[in-house]
């Protein structure tokens, strides 16, 4: 889940090395990162409990009292970690969130061992290096550094490293903590994955902060049929009903819609782009349908930002090579704009699939949170911290087409912002994919950025 930008013509200056954390803190962040990558926490085959336990052990070794460390979850193998670093209490706590599970990775799909932390050609490789164990490692390393430095925040800083963001479902740690241990994680606001830095050919383009996100609904499509012998086919075939309906879906696009965040984003892009693209962004910010269409056509990420999308992701059916299928089924994964509704999407699907033999039902529970307000304190801290580390690189508020655990927190009334400061090449997004990696420089720059940002947000401003 990544939002790609078109290239703005902004030249960025290099990150000054003297801003970096002391060598020992960089080593610590790297050591935690390595340790987390090498724990197999795939959401179907792995366990997040060893991640929580490893972090708890490091925190205890760094002097955090056991009473401030919580390890527990929806199942014995799906533990979460929550730690509290006490501040003066002048303000409500700040929650720092990252997830400890990863998308599955098979050795045969990768050019290297996915659960071995590998440093090569300026990158850290391994499943979770970009999603989301870098942020988890940095939150913990920075918390240990605050403690060692005797930093006295004006609010509690809570770090939660949670299970099953990727998997969702019954073991999702964010959902479980909100429902079962609200006091542990209750906060003024939350920083999470979902936003990061955009690079193009090594140039820093923008530091994206995610304030809103699409939400997910999965639908199961089923066609049942009495079947029969394949030697005597009939027209009424479950596979054909399903295939034809899916073909109609393939040719359908939901209408383009803008919202507060995408309009603000387009306005900002109009100022940093040049030529016809700048013109299109300017017009898009005012809702010009032709300009919006051109931007949506420019790349799949922009398209996904401007409309609800539904796509077939799984197929099943048939029970024998020589039998007419009695069942043909598909999963359709929908990414819904925050101001759209599940009901609207379902009725649109029924209309587009246009076959009453194709039964549509929603899978599981749908989480839908509101956009987070653009808090002046946060935006000011983001702008200042970004500018001090990467002069002239703008902070861009974005809505991402993916979905994160931020949904649960927004729905629970805790505004959540995707902020990382890890800069990645916009054309080299490997989260969930093969040979996932994180540029080494970006890891340490992100460590620096998050250290300063959290310090600013928990000091008198
Ligand atoms: Zn993630």
pLDDT tens digit sequence for 264-308: 888 888 877 788 989 999 999 999 999 999 999 988 888 998 999
Residue 326 has pLDDT above 50, yes or no: yes
Residue 371 has pLDDT above 50, yes or no: yes
Decide the pairing of beta strands 416-418 and 94-99.
unpaired
CA 23 – ligand 1 centroid, Å? 27
CA 132 – ligand 1 centroid, Å? 5
The pair of structure tokens assigned to 411 is 């729905």
CA 453 – ligand 1 centroid, Å? 20
Of the candidates 383, 388, 419, 376, which has an alpha carbon nearest to the alpha carbon of residue 208?
419
Residue 317 has pLDDT above 90, yes or no: yes
**For residue 147, what pLDDT band results from cuts at 50, 70 and 90?**
very high
pLDDT in tens, 94-108: 999 999 999 999 999
For range 42-68, the mean pLDDT: 96
**For residue 33, what pLDDT band results from cuts at 50, 70 and 90?**
very high
pLDDT in tens, 54-66: 999 999 999 999 9
The phi, psi pair for 349, rounded to 5°, reads -60, -45
**Which residues have C-beta within 8 Å of that of residue 28, sequence separation ≥ 6?**
141, 144, 145
Contact 192, 97 (CB under 8 A): yes
CA 70 – ligand 1 centroid, Å? 22
Measured from the Cβ of residue 454, the count of other Cβ atoms closer than 10 Å reads: 26
For residues 326-365, one letter each, b for 16 or more C-beta atoms within 10 angstroms of the residue's C-beta and e for the rest, the string is bbbbbebebbbbbebeeeebbebbeeebeeebbeeeeeee
Check residue 461 and give its pLDDT. Answer: 65
Mean pLDDT of the chain: 92
CA angle 2-439-261, nearest 5°? 30
Helix or strand holding residue 92 (H, E): none
For range 160-179, the mean pLDDT: 92
Check residue 267 and give its pLDDT. Answer: 85
pLDDT in tens, 100-130: 999 999 999 999 999 999 999 999 999 999 9
Measured from the Cβ of residue 319, the count of other Cβ atoms closer than 10 Å reads: 10
Check residue 9 and give its pLDDT. Answer: 40
CA 153 – ligand 1 centroid, Å? 28
CA 7 – ligand 1 centroid, Å? 24
pLDDT in tens, 180-213: 999 999 999 999 999 989 998 888 989 999 988 8
Measured from the Cβ of residue 48, the count of other Cβ atoms closer than 10 Å reads: 30
CA 30 – ligand 1 centroid, Å? 19
CA 421 – ligand 1 centroid, Å? 15
Distance (Å, whole) CA 127 – CA 144: 24
CA 447 – ligand 1 centroid, Å? 17
Of the candidates 180, 173, 169, which has an alpha carbon nearest to the alpha carbon of residue 218?
169
Contact 397, 261 (CB under 8 A): yes
**For residue 11, what pLDDT band results from cuts at 50, 70 and 90?**
very low
CA 321 – ligand 1 centroid, Å? 39
Check residue 316 and give its pLDDT. Answer: 97
CA 353 – ligand 1 centroid, Å? 32
The phi, psi pair for 270, rounded to 5°, reads -60, -30
User: Count of residues for the chain?
Assistant: 461
CA 84 – ligand 1 centroid, Å? 22
CA 405 – ligand 1 centroid, Å? 8
CA 404 – ligand 1 centroid, Å? 6
Residue 372 has pLDDT above 50, yes or no: yes
CA 347 – ligand 1 centroid, Å? 30
Distance (Å, whole) CA 78 – CA 418: 23
| Paired strand residues for 216 | 335
The pair of structure tokens assigned to 232 is 């005597």
Check residue 10 and give its pLDDT. Answer: 40
Check residue 255 and give its pLDDT. Answer: 97
CA 207 – ligand 1 centroid, Å? 17
């Amino acid at each position: 889940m990544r939002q790609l930008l078109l290239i703005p013509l902004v030249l960025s200056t290099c990150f000054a090395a003297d801003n970096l954390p002391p060598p020992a803190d960089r080593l610590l962040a790297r050591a935690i990162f390595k340790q987390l990558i090498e724990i197999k926490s795939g959401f179907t085959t792995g366990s997040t409990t060893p991640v929580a336990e490893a972090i708890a052990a490091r925190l205890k070794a760094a002097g955090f009292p056991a009473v401030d460390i919580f390890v527990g979850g929806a199942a014995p193998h799906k533990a979460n970690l929550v730690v509290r670093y006490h501040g003066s209490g002048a303000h409500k706590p700040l929650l720092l969130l990252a997830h400890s599970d990863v998308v599955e990775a098979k050795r045969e799909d990768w050019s290297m061992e996915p659960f071995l932390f590998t440093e090569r050609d300026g990158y850290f490789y391994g499943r979770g290096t970009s999603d989301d164990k870098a942020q988890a490692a940095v939150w913990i390393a920075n918390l240990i550094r605050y403690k060692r430095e005797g930093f006295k925040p004006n609010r509690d800083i809570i770090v939660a490293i949670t299970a099953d963001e990727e998997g969702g479902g019954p073991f999702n740690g964010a959902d479980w903590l909100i429902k079962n241990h609200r006091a542990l994680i209750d906060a003024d606001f939350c920083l999470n994955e979902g936003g990061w830095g955009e690079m193009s050919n090594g140039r820093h383009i923008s530091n994206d902060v995610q304030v809103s996100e699409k939400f997910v609904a999965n639908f199961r499509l089923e066609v049942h049929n009495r079947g029969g012998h394949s030697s005597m086919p009939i027209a009424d075939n479950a596979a054909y009903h399903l295939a034809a309906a899916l073909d109609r879906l393939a040719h359908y696009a939901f209408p383009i819609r803008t919202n507060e965040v995408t309009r603000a984003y387009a306005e900002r892009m109009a100022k940093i782009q040049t030529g016809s693209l700048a013109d299109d962004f300017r017009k898009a910010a005012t809702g010009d349908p032709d300009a919006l269409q051109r931007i949506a056509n420019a790349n799949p990420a922009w398209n996904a930002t401007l409309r609800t999308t539904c796509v077939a992701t799984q197929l099943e059916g048939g029970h024998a090579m020589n039998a007419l299928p009695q069942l043909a089924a598909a999963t359709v994964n929908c990414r819904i704009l925050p101001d759209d509704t599940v009901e609207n999407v379902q009725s649109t699907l029924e209309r587009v699939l246009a076959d009453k033999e194709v039964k549509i039902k929603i899978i599981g529970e749908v989480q839908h949170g509101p956009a987070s307000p653009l808090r002046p304190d946060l935006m000011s801290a983001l702008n200042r911290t970004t500018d001090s580390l990467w002069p002239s690189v703008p902070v861009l508020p974005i809505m991402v087409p993916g979905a994160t655990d931020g949904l649960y927190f927004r729905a629970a009334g805790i505004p959540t912002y995707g902020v990382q400061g890890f800069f990645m090449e916009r054309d080299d997004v490997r989260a969930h994919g093969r040979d996932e990696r994180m540029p080494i420089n970006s890891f340490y720059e992100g460590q620096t950025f998050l250290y300063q940002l959290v310090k600013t947000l928990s000091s008198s401003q």
